[in-house]
Structure 1
Amino acid sequence: MSSSKEQTSISQVMCFLHEWDQGSKTVRSRMLRDFLAKNTGKTCPELELEFAQVASLFLARLTAWIRLTYMFGSCLDLQLRALGVFLSANSSHQYMIEFLEVGGVLTLLEILGQDKLKEEDKTEALHLLQIIANSGQKYKELICESYGVKAVAECLAKSEMEGTQGTAAALLESLAHGNPKYQNQVYKGLIALFACTLPRAQQLVLQILRIVQPIIKTAHHSIVEPLLNLLRSLHLEVQYEAIELITELMQSEVRPALLRGLVAFLKPAKERKPKHKILDASAKTIRILAQRSEEISKELISLGVIHHLLYAMGNQEHADAQRQASLALEHFVRMYPVVEEHVRRAMGSTLFESFMHNADELHLSMDDIQADILQSNKVNISCVLEEQISDS
């Protein structure tokens, strides 16, 4: 660039910055729209060329304005999108450093916690945090050190917009990768999100945990109770993801606790009324687990699953649970002769023949007497019978 062109360019930039400094909110909004139209997608060298090698002067002004006004939501969408031009520009390391040095991460995290701000603005703030996190381990650590996991998790739990939920979930997943110092913090934060009430958020968290669990390697026992409770969900997509995560955790140290919990759900304590979804889902999960592993089948039998499945089959208040329990029991009966013998004795020949003929629809033809017989069963496969199963 010739000296005269350089002078012209510098003069234009100085006029631009002066206009910004003197401008009202309306003027700055117009300037940001022009900036976005001209510079979205540009690289760092291209931005420097546009701003006569002093693009950082505009970045500093933009950042300062965001910090002063973000709580009011004034032009926040334009501000964050303009900031994104700098942070997402190729070779933008210097811009990133300048933004972080003035507390940029804290500002973005604080935006997430402002109840009065628009969801779209929070989504954009999450997007910028994702850009920062994707820049390397030290940036992920900075976000976590700034209580970022808590802020992002709370945003996910409260947001009702799928775009915001999805972006928050992607950021949490990113923070779990390549971040050994804080990966357990992210893991525990995800488990805590099981308690949120939004089905879509629960579904996303379950999906992320299926990805993150192999990174963590060791399953924390705090996951057991809240994960099992998600089987109570009325939303099939949440149930499905919960069952899939339970299945994957069968190779971890929480397997015994998960199996005990599933069996216990089939026959809830007398002081609380059983919910049909937990009966239905637990029987379904038991069937899936047993079909996938003979070892797990044996463990379930040792936990008294046969007695509890018979009991659930007799629960005429919950037809879906009856059906799922019947299908699960059918697997055990066909797999182990010793189970078949005890189930036949508990049911009686007539009901047992109907069961073996069509386990899927047995509940449709069951009368009250048969249901009472199933619920009063005393099936208890002793250690001797467990040895027989092991030898079969």
Structure 2
Amino acid sequence: MTSIKEQAAISRLLSFLQDWDNAGKAARSHILDNFIENNQGKTASELEQEFSQGASLFLVRLTTWLRLTYMTGSSLEKVLKSIGIFLTSVNSNRYLIEFLEVGGALTLLELLETLGMEKIKEEDKKESIRLLQVIANSGRKYKELICESYGVRSIAEFLAKSKSEETQEEVQVLLDSLLHGNPKYQNQVYKGLITLLPSVSPKAQQLALQTLRCAQSIIGATHPSIVDCVLNVLRTMHLEVQYEAIELIKDLVNYDVCEALLIGLVDLLTPPIPETSELQPKILS
């Protein structure tokens, strides 16, 4: 028999879920504010106690609402932070699996796309990156899941296009996580970093070069395109980018691209030879 206390707790849970189901955007935003304020930092067991062993019922509602409304940007940051409370709680593996089973990782990656996503703020995308960090840090199979969802491409493109250096640094942390303990897809991450070198964003170039140094030591072999990409970066006017490129070149001379690097460096340092015709004095009539 269920005790009176347990019945009351279940009744409160059902009432809360009903309030959520019947609420409009403004009311749901208020519910999220209260949830974030009251549950930040709680463990999984504490969340279950708060929701009478039915916390997953609220998580699935959050995930569903995220998938249905993320294109509009409605209360997006609050929804992501609320989901983050579940995913970052101690002993949260159950919540993580439930979130991923309904396509949570793919939704987070879709949030990073810029085309048709003008209503999604930079802060929302940064929160998405942080949740992807949580997923990636949960183990190898979760890193593989992100990579199998074309995550490296989406994440790298977002790094190149982001206007916030703070957000770009969060992306670097995510790429670094995907690089470690992910032998099946570490080459994919490595190639993704190389594609960032021609970026018009100096910060993206700097972070990509920093991470490439680590990637190179993990992978060992070099990709054929890395020489031209790194040498072209040396033409930049941004000293911090030049510095990172030089540091990477110092590492690369220990690999099979050493000769190609030296030839390329000599070409860069050799001033162009003027055309012979330009040296001839003009004949004045």
TM range (shorter): over 0.9
Question: Which residue in 1 is equivalent to 2:163?
Answer: 160
The separation in 2 between residues aligned to 1:141 and 1:269, in whole angstroms, is 47
1:238, distance to aligned residue in structure 2 (A): 0.3
Question: Which residue in 1 is equivalent to 2:251?
Answer: 248
Identify which of 177, 181, 184 aligns with 1:181. Answer: 184
The separation in 1 between residues aligned to 2:122 and 2:174, in whole angstroms, is 16
What amino acid does structure 2 have at the position aligned with 1:202? Q
Q: How does 1:1-392 map to 2 (within 5 A)?
A: 3-114=3-114, 115-116=117-118, 117-270=120-273
What amino acid does structure 2 have at the position aligned with 1:236? L
Q: 1:66 to 1:271 in 2, by over 3 A?
A: farther
The separation in 2 between residues aligned to 1:66 and 1:216, in whole angstroms, is 37
What amino acid does structure 2 have at the position aligned with 1:150? R
Q: 1:264 to 1:124 in 2, by over 3 A?
A: same
SS at match of 2:70: helix
The separation in 1 between residues aligned to 2:98 and 2:55, in whole angstroms, is 11
SS at match of 1:221: coil
1:270, distance to aligned residue in structure 2 (A): 4.0
The separation in 2 between residues aligned to 1:100 and 1:268, in whole angstroms, is 56
1:4, distance to aligned residue in structure 2 (A): 2.1
Question: What's the CA shift string for 1:107-141, capped at 9, x where partnerless?
Answer: 00000003411100000000000000000000000
What amino acid does structure 1 have at the position aligned with 2:221? T
SS at match of 2:196: helix
What amino acid does structure 2 have at the position aligned with 1:191? I
1:6, distance to aligned residue in structure 2 (A): 1.4
What amino acid does structure 2 have at the position aligned with 1:126? I
1:72, distance to aligned residue in structure 2 (A): 0.6
What amino acid does structure 2 have at the position aligned with 1:26? A
Extract unaligned runs of 5+ from structure 1: 273-392
The separation in 2 between residues aligned to 1:193 and 1:3, in whole angstroms, is 60
What amino acid does structure 2 have at the position aligned with 1:146? S
What amino acid does structure 2 have at the position aligned with 1:91? N
What amino acid does structure 2 have at the position aligned with 1:153? A
Number of equivalences: 271
1:105, distance to aligned residue in structure 2 (A): 0.8
SS at match of 1:130: helix
CA contact (8 A) 1:220 1:254 kept: no
What amino acid does structure 1 have at the position aligned with 2:235? R
Which runs of structure 1 show a deviation greater than 3 angstroms over 4 or more consecutive aligned residues? 268-272
The separation in 2 between residues aligned to 1:38 and 1:265, in whole angstroms, is 60
SS at match of 1:138: helix
Question: What's the CA shift string for 1:246-282, capped at 9, x where partnerless?
Answer: 001111111111111001111244479xxxxxxxxxx
1:37, distance to aligned residue in structure 2 (A): 0.5
Aligned Cα root-mean-square deviation (Å): 1.3
| Structure with the bigger percentage of helix | 1
SS at match of 2:253: helix
**Greater C-alpha radius of gyration:** 1
Question: What's the CA shift string for 1:320-366, capped at 9, x where partnerless?
Answer: xxxxxxxxxxxxxxxxxxxxxxxxxxxxxxxxxxxxxxxxxxxxxxx
Question: Which residue in 2 is equivalent to 1:316?
Answer: none
Question: What's the CA shift string for 1:226-247, capped at 9, x where partnerless?
Answer: 1001111111000000000000
What amino acid does structure 1 have at the position aligned with 2:224? H
The separation in 2 between residues aligned to 1:21 and 1:159, in whole angstroms, is 35
1:210, distance to aligned residue in structure 2 (A): 1.2
1:32, distance to aligned residue in structure 2 (A): 0.4
Extract unaligned runs of 5+ from structure 2: 276-285
